[in-house]
Amino acid sequence: MTDTLLEIENLRVAYPSAHGYTDALRGISFSVGRERLGIVGESGSGKSTAGRAAMRLLPPKARVSADRLQLQEIDLLAASERQMREIRGGRLAMVLQDPRYALNPMKTVMAQITESCRLHTKCSRAEARDQALDMLEAVHIRDPRRVARLYPHELSGGMGQRVMIAMMLIAKPQLVIADEPTSALDVTVRGQILDILNERVEAEGAGLILISHDLPLVADFCDRVLVMYGGQIMEELAARDLSAARHPYTVALNESLPPLDRKVAELTVPEHDPKWLEQRR
Amino acid sequence: MTPAVEIRDLTITFGQGRARVKAVDSASFRAAPGEAFGIIGESGSGKSTILRAITGLNDDYTGDVLIDGQQAQKPRTKAFFKTVQMVFQDPYGSLHPRRMIRATLAEPLEIHRFDRKDDRIAQVLNDVGLAPEFAYRYPHQLSGGQRQRVAVARALLLEPRILLLDEPTSALDVSVQAGVLNLLDRLRRDRGLTYVMVSHDLRVIAHMCSRVAVMTQGRIVEELSADALRDQRAETEYTQQLIRASRGTAHA
Amino acid sequence: MTDLPGSPPQSTLRGWLEAPGATSPGQARAQAAWRSWQRLVANKAALAGLIVLLALIFLAVFGPALTPYDPMAQNLSERLLPPSGAHPFGTDDLGRDIMTRILYGARITLMMAALVAVIAGPIGLIVGATAGYLGGWTDIVAMRVVDIFLSFPSLILALAFVAALGPGIENAVIAIALSAWPPIARLARAEALTVRKSDYIAAARIQGASRFRLILRHVMPVCLPSVVIRITLNMAGIILTAAGLGFLGLGAQPPSPEWGAMLASGRQFMLTSWWLAAIPGAAIMVVSLAFNLLGDGLRDVLDPRDD
């Protein structure tokens, strides 16, 4: 991770609620280079908000502030909506949880991928088609010509997620944000999808942020991990050290997971402790 | 000993003509009284379909469903539901959105003409670790874990001996899941309940159950003990693959 | 390990209504009603509609006390007088005070609206929820009947019923109710179809609930909000249909001060004495608009899904 792709400093997000504003992110700072960065946390921890804030995809009613939100030379905070449209899908791509909802049900696979390609690179229709077929092959779809003619509802979950990866990566983005890309998939296909994602990201020399609630998966897949809780980053550590984390929240999360290698009489239920928020590392 | 739940050659088909598919293909298993029996499989494997057939929510099946050695009647009788109850996967969908928790919990008591309704509701809420005031909430005022506890409470009100659990924690965070799993485990031991639990999560199944059936494409391909599962002593290729994927060693 | 509800209840009424956790069924219901009320108040247009309708009810109840005139008494020496201090809305061709007649007419309009809602609402809800939940032959038969009713414009259908039953305000109400329930049934059926497969219905079945209980206690409460919204929005159409029947001479009969009939009899004087037609016309418009605005607002109030 020599050069920094995305740099975030003191990012705060709040949503309007019945009694003033409710904080979703309380000042988080991190940077990501050409590496696999994992962001783990439970629902409501703010992990998805962080990803969406970087894409500037939060709803207009959200109150966003940051000291710095920089994608290489571009100041994302100052970028116009028009510039953002070029950046999204062009330099920054996002892979979402469920391809059934993220793909347009009325368009064929081919139409969606070529559209994404032509929006961000100045290529002809024929070039876009060729690139799309190459891309489908690159995500290990055996018969790209057949699959290209299908509609999203005709795809299985794993196949849909490959198509989404193809669509998101065809414009050769510098940074891919994957928000729970495998949570809607069966266990036995999760590994394949992550391998494909990793392969593509490495081939393009891009960075990857993997947002997930699944600690073992992130520990296994990423280089570096941020643990989030209550809209803050609790700790940052190397992924291989995740099972030996020392922050009480991470420890509690690890312990609450039913172990696969031994029998335990009772699981440890994390008692949420307000002090966690002060023990940031 | 007579099994509490036994299914024999259970076959369920959906659709007609060329679109006809066997969702469950001659599945058989037995769960002894007081045992936690698990069924693991991926989406579309037919595991939840088996539970719906046992409860009679779908009684369009062939084969046998035996409760305490007795053939379950079609359609199921009211008495059947005092023996067999079920907890659904999605706590956001299984509680009526417009009814107060108290109304949801009072319903089985009204149908089966139980007395002391308020006492029983307060007691069962206590049993699942909720304060009595939760009776006066609406579902949207509760968290996912609290809703699932209410769903468990509802299933317990009729004092059944058999509980069918359809992915009871898959919609919950792990820290919340731990609490619900502990609750279910304690209830089974304290009350001598028999569980048939369905899940896609090997960790959950291995933790909760003593014996596990592995399902794929409508068939039970293997039945093994939880110890064998933990020690990775599976016989079929599919089960081995499932274990590898769950342990997170499926890729580099 | 017990989850505790939030802070203890406060002593003021507002505190009691906004306390994070209710401690009795009554408080829980009051809190739910209070949240609905706050959502309604937040929608200014709906609030305006509600105020107009409350004013209409007030005038219908106390109207006779607010005017010195008799709605039926003719006074040919004062015919076709333009609006003035003595007659704020002028007088008609028989010298009757138009404001007095509008006030008395409000009773008729409200009575008709209420009667139609009471007849068409339950029929539509019961037919729709039952057909949607049971499915199969019940559904097919019920929906074909609905289709037949829907294939006629409601005014034409009402005309046919009135022609068969004879003119008069009671028959007009029956005719309008008979033409108003089918769209409501179809709406209720659509809602019932979406809930019949839901887990909470399955859960209730596993408690041993009968079909009757499922439809009455589980399916109907889900269909009810959209039915109420629909009826409120339809109310404008119902008032217009009633006015139309009155206008055609098939609803309320002269000398009844029904707004539609007043509009019809004022038509021939429209060029010389505009107030005869314009005043009842404006009354119909204001009430229809109020119902529409309120119906729109009820959508926000009764749909607490995104709470």
Predicted pLDDT of residue C304: 53
B126 touches chain C (CB under 8 A): yes
Helix (H) or strand (E) holding B211: strand B211-216
Per-residue pLDDT of chain B (252 residues; tens, 9 = 90+): 789 999 999 999 988 877 788 899 999 999 999 999 999 998 888 899 999 999 999 888 999 999 999 999 888 999 999 999 999 988 888 999 888 999 999 999 999 999 898 999 999 999 999 999 899 988 988 989 999 999 999 999 999 999 999 999 988 888 899 999 999 999 999 999 999 999 999 999 999 999 999 999 999 999 999 999 888 888 899 999 888 888 764 443
Beta-bridge partners for A202? none
User: C225 is written with which tokens?
Assistant: 């909000």
User: C15 is written with which tokens?
Assistant: 């505190």
Predicted pLDDT of residue B252: 37
C75 in a structural domain: no
Helix (H) or strand (E) holding A168: helix A157-169
Rounded CA gap, B182 and B193, in Å? Answer: 14
Predicted confidence (pLDDT) per residue in C56-80, tens digit: 899 888 888 888 888 888 888 888 8
Tell which residue, B224, B225, B221, B236, has the closest CA to residue B26. B221
Rounded CA gap, B73 and B66, in Å? Answer: 9
Considering only the beta carbons, identify the residue of A221, A260, A269 that sits closest to B203.
A260
pLDDT, greater one: C269 or C247: C269
Predicted pLDDT of residue B21: 84
Rounded CA gap, B132 and C256, in Å? Answer: 59
Q: Per the CB < 8 Å rule, is B111 touching C29?
A: no
Considering only the beta carbons, identify the residue of C28, C198, C208 that sits closest to B136.
C28
Helix (H) or strand (E) holding C300: helix C275-302
Sequence-distant (≥ 6) Cβ neighbours of residue B127 within 8 angstroms: B153, B156, B187
Q: What is the CATH number of the domain that holds B92?
A: 3.40.50.300
- Residue B199, Cβ density class (10 Å: 0-12 exposed, 13-18 middle, ≥19 buried): buried
How far, in Å, are A94, B52, B56 from residue B112 at the CA level? Answer: 53, 21, 18
Mutant choice from B54, B73, B113, B141 vs C, greatest count of C C-beta within 10 A: B141
**In chain B, whose CA is at the least distance from the CA of A185?**
B43
B140 touches chain C (CB under 8 A): yes
Q: Per the CB < 8 Å rule, is A252 touching B248?
A: no
Tell which residue, B13, B49, B241, has the closest CA to residue B164. B49
Q: Per the CB < 8 Å rule, is B96 touching C209?
A: no
Number of domains in chain C: 1
**CA–CA min distance C133, chain B (Å):** 15
Residue B173 is which amino acid? Answer: D
Task: Domain of residue B159: give its range.
Answer: 5-246
Q: What is the CATH number of the domain that holds C210?
A: 1.10.3720.10
Domain chopping of chain A, boundaries: 4-278
Residue pair A119/A89 in contact by the 8 Å Cβ criterion: yes
Rounded CA gap, A195 and A139, in Å? Answer: 10
Rounded CA gap, A85 and A170, in Å? Answer: 16
The pLDDT of residue C2 is above 50: no
- The structure tokens 């309008």 sit at C176
Tell which residue, A168, A7, A2, A1, has the closest CA to residue A72. A7
Among the listed ranges B206-210, C6-10, C292-296, which one has the minimum average pLDDT value? C6-10
**Under DSSP, is residue C206 helix (H, G, I), strand (E, B) or coil?**
helix
Per-residue pLDDT of chain A (281 residues; tens, 9 = 90+): 458 899 999 999 998 877 778 888 998 999 999 999 999 988 888 899 999 998 888 888 888 989 989 888 888 888 888 888 888 888 888 888 888 788 888 999 999 888 888 888 778 888 889 989 988 988 888 888 999 999 988 888 888 888 988 888 888 889 999 999 888 888 888 888 888 888 888 888 899 999 999 888 888 889 999 999 988 998 898 988 888 888 888 888 888 889 888 888 888 888 777 777 776 65
Considering only the beta carbons, identify the residue of B57, B93, B129 that sits closest to C3.
B129
Predicted confidence (pLDDT) per residue in A226-266, tens digit: 999 988 998 898 988 888 888 888 888 888 889 888 888 88
Class level of CATH domain A4-278: alpha beta
Task: Domain of residue C94: give its range.
Answer: 38-65+89-306
Q: What is the ipTM of this complex?
A: 0.90
Predicted pLDDT of residue A280: 60
B217 in a structural domain: yes
Helix (H) or strand (E) holding C41: helix C25-42
Predicted pLDDT of residue C286: 92
Q: Per the CB < 8 Å rule, is C4 touching B78?
A: no
Chains that touch A (3 or more CB pairs under 8 A): B
Rounded CA gap, B124 and C122, in Å? Answer: 37
C2 in a structural domain: no
> Within a 10 A sphere around the Cβ of C14, how many other Cβ atoms?
9
Tell which residue, C279, C257, C256, C255, has the closest CA to residue C267. C279
Q: Per the CB < 8 Å rule, is B226 touching A263?
A: yes
Number of domains in chain B: 1
Sequence-distant (≥ 6) Cβ neighbours of residue A74 within 8 angstroms: A83, A87, A91
**CA–CA min distance A276, chain B (Å):** 15
Residue pair B198/B88 in contact by the 8 Å Cβ criterion: no
Q: What angle do CA C81, C86, C91 make, to 5 degrees?
A: 30
> Within a 10 A sphere around the Cβ of A124, how many other Cβ atoms?
9
User: C173 is written with which tokens?
Assistant: 């109400």
Predicted pLDDT of residue C9: 46
Tell which residue, C170, B56, A25, B236, has the closest CA to residue C178. C170
Supply the angle between the helices C169-196 and C136-150 in degrees, to the nearest 10: 140
Rounded CA gap, C242 and B97, in Å? Answer: 37
Q: Per the CB < 8 Å rule, is B136 touching C22?
A: yes
Going by DSSP bridges, is the β-strand pair B36-41/B211-216 parallel, antiparallel, or unpaired? parallel
Beta-bridge partners for A17? A20
Q: Give the dihedral of Cα atoms A69, A72, A78, A79; nearest 10 deg.
A: -120
C172 in a structural domain: yes
The pLDDT of residue C123 is above 90: yes
User: C86 is written with which tokens?
Assistant: 């003595």
Residue A81 is which amino acid? Answer: E
Predicted pLDDT of residue B179: 92
Rounded CA gap, B50 and B47, in Å? Answer: 5
